[in-house]
Amino acid sequence: MFSELPLLSLVIWTPILGGLLVLATGSHRRGGLQAKVLTLLVSLLTFALSVLLFTGFDTTTAEMQFTELQPWIATFNVYYHLGVDGISMPLIVLTTFTTALVVIAGWEVIKTKPAQYMAAFLILEGLMNGAFASLDAMLFYVFWEALLIPMFIIIGIWGGPNRVYATLKFFLYTFLGSVFMLVALIYLYFQTGTFEIGDFHAVQIGLTAQIWLFLAFLVAFAVKVPMWPVHTWLPDAHVEAPTGGSVILAAIMLKLGAYGFLRFSLPITPDASHSLDWLMILLSLVAVVYIGFVALIQQDMKKLIAYSSISHMGFVTLGFFVAFSIFENTGSWRGVAMGIEGGMVQMISHGFVSGAMFLCVGVLYDRLHSRQIADYGGVVNTMPLFAGFMVLFAMANAGLPGTAGFVGEFMVILSAFKANFWYAFLAATTLILGAAYTLWMVKRVIYGKVVHEGVATLKDINAREFLFLGVLAVAVLALGLWPAPLLEVMGPTVANLVEHIAVSKL
Amino acid sequence: MENLEAITLAIVLAPLFGSVIAGLFGGKIGRSGAHSVTILGVGIAFVLSLTLFLQALSGDIGSINQSIYTWMISDGIRFEIGFLIDRLSTMMMVVVTFVSLMVHIYTVGYMADDEHNWPDDSLAGKNSYQRFFSYISLFTFSMLMLVMSNNFLQLFFGWEAVGLVSYLLIGFWATRESAVYANLKAFLVNRVGDFGFILGIGAVLMYFNTLDYQAVFNTVEMHQDVTVSIWGDSEWSLITVICILLFIGAMGKSAQVPLHVWLPDSMEGPTPISALIHAATMVTAGIFMVARMSPLYELSETALSMILIIGAITAFFMGLLGLVQNDIKRVVAYSTLSQLGYMTVALGASAYAAGMFHLMTHAFFKALLFLGAGSVIIAMHHDQDMRNMGGLRKYMPITWITTLIGSLALIGAPFFSGFYSKDSIIEAVGHSQLPGSDIAYIAVLLGVFVTALYSFRMYFLVFHGKARMDEHTREHLHETPRVVTWPLILLAIPSVFAGALFVDSMAFGDFFREAIVVAPAHDTLGALAGDFHGWFTFGLHGFVTAPFWLAAAGVATAYLLYMKFTHVPTMLKEKFGWLYAILDRKYGFDDFYEWFFAGGSRGIGNALWRFGDVKLIDGLMINGSALAVGWFASVMRYVQSGYLYHYAFAMILGLLALFGLFVI
């Protein structure tokens, strides 16, 4: 009965139009209560719509589903072409899910211009959904660039004291990267005469051109993921961003970069990916190990979690790009899919876990207005319920089996082993490093005696906070205990992708 | 059997259910509700486990391998959650659920006044009683998942889950700095082991393309000659690599040198969990895992030799540390380390069955000793220093007798349970032909003397001699309540009889059937079986063997040093100050790790951050390029002067250049 609905257009335009409506409602009446209620309704409606995508999804095919096709700019063969497969659909659901939580999380906290704040998140949600659902490269590019604006505004207006520096760094980095992608897309347009991503996948390109294309895409996506050494904008952006901004940034926006590798780099330039895979593996392992050490000594909780995010995203890129080494080492493409799927599971689980961690820091920040680890200690004495949640999410962040954090890391380590023992060896150091930086922070923040007066005055989480932390806890455990449904969605698409990259374009 | 699946599910889910109820609704159901529901859950698990065990013994059920649900399918490989029920797992299930049940009951008494352990105005101690029950039931669930698993994934799940609960329980008194230091340390050191473990699992999956035990064991012979190169051109046998990697995991969990450092510190947790987790069950998970993997280990003599040597080092040197401890729980903790070393040695000598046998008897008598120590600690108002005890036998007769039984079992007094299991290990090591077995044999023999010495040092210091506690404590000394003493009595029974009862089948018979595989060349226990003529003869013969005299000498020495000539220990301590210092510093492992690993990692992190991120990337690349842009912009500023005639001039120049191009 829902199959006739243009679901993808709905998950894109409902929040965008809803956001405009919220803007029109304004903040001035009753602290923007109307605006907040409206935002919540819109975000829940969008989430419900995305659930229909999940339930209506055909897990037996790698074909694009829920497709919509309209001419947009006929002169340049640009189409409003939407569709999802096993790679993009889970990310859309993650986006709508996270946005709804962020709306709840910002409910009482945002005092200045609440309506504008809420509207920014709704518009951002629609734009992110658009980026994931676009099958036309130009459409994708428009969404990709447009979604920088609301995030820019969110950090720039509701951010911390050093927000101007952080927003500029964030904007320049990501914008500069995108320019290279635009050049690559235009080049591909001249090769194919269209902006259809599917046609890009099929076009034959020589190795040199592939390498240039790959590097252009790499600049854009590596900044977004972010990969070492173009990662330093992220800790700054996180530290200055309001809690909701951090959550969306970590849970969704980073995934856009990783998504780009799967949608553009690997299928369009398989041979370049093959010849430059050493670089990708190297950068991924640097992210896991180097960033792991850097996370260990951070004094600011948000910075620590930001570095932990970079480290975890290293698993995503590692999982994607060990593909070719597995083939070279074992002589078969078996095991390749597990790496890619592991990277994708890691994207989803990182969305839950890092989102939850940022929300936890937000809960503390709202009370004491400090993110410094040294300002806390013994929080369990005054906030035992919160402490329980924080420990759970910390364990998920440390990759404990039974939580979401384990699944992706496990799959990537297993497949890295097939490529090279030392890849797996270095990747597996996260078992120690991840536990060290996360649990050491927990020890200093949560456990021990109350030393600071501020901690003694803390009030445990209220019903609203319990709601969003509880929902995330369920999500983290569900994905950890039974990842099969997610894998079922991804399976055919990834199998198809592996078949595609196994064939050289030369 | 039709309802077997239901029974196995009930065994794991009953404790989980109890844990969830007590954990989430602890405030509502109150203390009695929490302990009732968890004791009921573990009780159900125990009764059903015992039923399965008896049926397995009588041959009503063979080995059962069944899947419960598919965790995920990736790349055509099915990752399942499922159970393998055979004699090895049923035995472990009985041990785990029995000790757990005893500890649950005991906890009712031990944690009764837990509110005193928390700061007055702290909310953390709210419902701590209920939370404690929730945790130990969760532990039981996790441990059952581990031992009942039929695949590596679930093994790892259980492996880490028991680690999690151990973390939560060591740091149970979360406001104590020492406790939350110890639990972090325990978790991280275990993670070092798990690091090896997960790589081992990676190797298994790569070459066997499955994580199912049975499927791996079925094809293991095909992979016997596969070699892998890890470093340069050196070729390693695949099986050896897998075995060593998995054993690194076991070294973490079963606290073998050099990954043993977390276990003594884990004594910061409440005593019931020291008995359950850090003596009877969790720390033996590594032993169980190697026994379960015997089809793999039998194909790698290199790995077996390594196990033998590491076990021997642990058995002897950790025992020595028990001699200088004054904290009653720490003595028992070092004793546990040493005994885990014995079990490991057994594995290395391919006497898996003897190792498992010792695991079982040790679970009983060591849980008994810990709970006995806990009973003493209750009576002493949570003073754990043995120098303040003495003469307690008059005040606590049940604790006294049961601890004596536990100590006799521990030192291997003939006819006690520990005698049968430990003697089979020592004999088996003596028969082993592997490199390293000679050293191991000497280590385990000398270890017997050391064991007897520290055990009876503790026994005499606590129960005999002058009462050294202060007046107030002495006046209040009395036997602990029945919820505490009953578990002691119930554990004392198998501590005496379990050895004689099972030595025939478990050590020298074919108790474990196909669950444990031993290559004929390594069959040390099989070689001994010919000389075995029943438990009674074996016990009688025990009086004339070297271990007996070594143990007797140990007890005598303890008597002389701590009852007769009590000034001698102090004298020795002064005379051999350097030796005492080495033992007191625990051979320097802790200091070295703290400096090298903890300090080193922070140093690396600082260096990478300050130099790499802040200076190089942000300073040079980013702000450097910002500077470059700024410079470029300042140049451009001259060009973009805002004066119309400048622009006009530039346009004319441009036009001229273009025309020039066309002309050329």
3-state secondary structure A393-422: HHHHHCCCCCCHHHHHHHHHHHHHHHHCHH
| Residue B124 to residue A380, Cβ atoms within 8 A | yes
Of A34, A36, A18, whose CA–CA distance to A109 is shortest? A36
Q: Which two tokens stand for residue B31?
A: 């203390």
Q: Which of B119, B157, B202 is opposite residue A402, by nearest beta carbon?
A: B157
Residues 6+ apart with CB under 8 A from A394: A357, A438, A439, A441, A442
Burial of A175: CB neighbours in 10 Å, binned 0-12, 13-18, 19+: middle
pLDDT tens string A36-56: 889 999 999 999 999 999 999
CB of A290 within 8 Å of a chain B CB? The answer is yes
Size of interface A-B (CB pairs under 8 A): 162
pLDDT of residue B632: 66
CA distance linking residue B638 with residue B661, whole number of Å = 27
CB of A285 within 8 Å of a chain B CB? The answer is no
Measure in Å the smallest separation between the Cα of B172 and chain A Cα atoms.
10
pLDDT of residue B619: 75
**Amino acid letter, residue B526:** G
pLDDT tens string A145-200: 998 889 988 988 888 888 888 888 888 888 888 889 999 999 999 988 899 998 89
String of DSSP letters for A286-318: HHHHHHHHHHHT-SBHHHHHHHHHHHHHHHHHH
Measure in Å the smallest separation between the Cα of A370 and chain B Cα atoms.
22
pLDDT of residue B227: 85
CA distance linking residue A251 with residue A306, whole number of Å = 11
Measure in Å the smallest separation between the Cα of A428 and chain B Cα atoms.
6
CB of B122 within 8 Å of a chain A CB? The answer is yes
Decide if A281 contacts A424 (C-beta within 8 A).
Answer: no
pLDDT of residue A125: 94
A456: pLDDT strictly greater than 90: no
From chain A, the residues in CB contact with B203 under 8 A are 417
Residues in chain B: 664
pLDDT of residue B346: 94
pLDDT of residue A27: 66
From chain B, the residues in CB contact with A417 under 8 A are 199, 202-203, 205-206
Q: Which of B180, B194, B617 is opposite residue A229, by nearest beta carbon?
A: B617
Burial of A323: CB neighbours in 10 Å, binned 0-12, 13-18, 19+: buried
From chain B, the residues in CB contact with A447 under 8 A are 171, 174-175, 180
Higher pLDDT, A1 or B401: B401
Average pLDDT, chain A: 91
Query: How far is the CA of A196 from the CAs of A54, A157, A186, in angstroms?
Result: 24, 37, 12
CB of A175 within 8 Å of a chain B CB? The answer is no
| Residue B195 to residue A411, Cβ atoms within 8 A | no
| Residue B206 to residue A418, Cβ atoms within 8 A | yes
Give every residue of chain B whose pLDDT is below 70, as ranges.
1-2, 622-626, 628-630, 632-642, 644-648, 655, 658-664
Decide if B421 contacts B539 (C-beta within 8 A).
Answer: no
CB of A28 within 8 Å of a chain B CB? The answer is no
Of B165, B332, B340, B171, whose CA–CA distance to B250 is shortest? B340
From chain B, the residues in CB contact with A425 under 8 A are 199
Decide if B189 contacts B252 (C-beta within 8 A).
Answer: yes
**Amino acid letter, residue B82:** G
Measure in Å the smallest separation between the Cα of B160 and chain A Cα atoms.
7
| Residue B174 to residue A449, Cβ atoms within 8 A | no
From chain A, the residues in CB contact with B604 under 8 A are 293
Average pLDDT value for residue range A339-348: 95
From chain B, the residues in CB contact with A290 under 8 A are 608, 612
Cα dihedral A102/A104/A110/A115 (nearest 10): 90
Q: Which of A381, A414, A448 is opposite residue B180, by nearest beta carbon?
A: A448
- Say what the ipTM of the complex is: 0.93
pLDDT of residue B616: 80
pLDDT tens string A48-85: 999 999 999 999 988 899 989 988 888 888 889 999 99
C-alpha B376: how far from chain center: 24
| Residue A449 to residue B119, Cβ atoms within 8 A | yes
CB of B71 within 8 Å of a chain A CB? The answer is yes
Burial of A447: CB neighbours in 10 Å, binned 0-12, 13-18, 19+: buried
**E strand or H helix at B495:** helix B482-502
Helix (H, G, I), strand (E, B) or coil at B563: helix
Instruction: Put residue B404 in one of left, alpha, beta given phi > 0 → left and psi -120 to 50 → alpha.
Output: alpha
pLDDT of residue B261: 92
Question: How crowded is the C-beta side of A96, counted as CA atoms within 13 Å?
Answer: 31
Q: Which two tokens stand for residue A313?
A: 């995203």
Name the closest residue on chain B to residue A336, using Cα atoms: B75
Measure in Å the smallest separation between the Cα of B149 and chain A Cα atoms.
14
C-alpha A282: how far from chain center: 21
Residues in chain A: 506
Decide if A92 contacts A11 (C-beta within 8 A).
Answer: yes
pLDDT tens string B570-623: 888 888 888 888 888 888 888 888 888 888 888 888 888 888 888 888 777 766
Decide if B304 contacts B346 (C-beta within 8 A).
Answer: no
Of A46, A43, A27, A45, whose CA–CA distance to A35 is shortest? A27
C-alpha A78: how far from chain center: 27
Q: Which of A232, A337, A440 is opposite residue B75, by nearest beta carbon?
A: A337
Decide if B487 contacts B402 (C-beta within 8 A).
Answer: no
Q: What is the pTM of this model?
A: 0.92
pLDDT of residue B377: 92
Measure in Å the smallest separation between the Cα of B329 and chain A Cα atoms.
23
pLDDT of residue B81: 92
Q: Which of B76, B160, B206 is opposite residue A400, by nearest beta carbon?
A: B160
Name the closest residue on chain B to residue A435, using Cα atoms: B188
Name the closest residue on chain A to residue B78, using Cα atoms: A484
Measured at the CA of A74, the angle between CA A68 and CA A75, to 5 degrees, comes to 150
Rounded to the nearest 10 degrees, the angle between the axes of helix B482-502 and helix B87-110 is 160
CA distance linking residue B309 with residue B298, whole number of Å = 16
Q: Which of A232, A483, A491 is opposite residue B618, by nearest beta carbon?
A: A232
Q: Which of B124, B202, B617 is opposite residue A413, by nearest beta carbon?
A: B202
CB of B232 within 8 Å of a chain A CB? The answer is no
From chain A, the residues in CB contact with B618 under 8 A are 232
From chain A, the residues in CB contact with B159 under 8 A are 401
| Residue B613 to residue A436, Cβ atoms within 8 A | no
Of B428, B426, B430, whose CA–CA distance to B550 is shortest? B426
Of A144, A263, A275, whose CA–CA distance to A209 is shortest? A275
| Residue A402 to residue B160, Cβ atoms within 8 A | yes
A1: pLDDT strictly greater than 60: no
Q: Of B12, B20, B73, B74, which to mutate for an interface test with A (greatest number of A Cβ within 10 Å)? A: B74
CB of B205 within 8 Å of a chain A CB? The answer is yes
| Residue B180 to residue A443, Cβ atoms within 8 A | yes
Name the closest residue on chain A to residue B602, using Cα atoms: A297
pLDDT tens string A240-295: 999 999 999 999 999 999 999 999 999 999 999 999 999 999 999 999 999 999 99
String of DSSP letters for A7-45: HHHHHHHHHHHHHHHHHHH-STGGGGHHHHHHHHHHHHH
Neighbours of A454 (CB within 10 A): 15
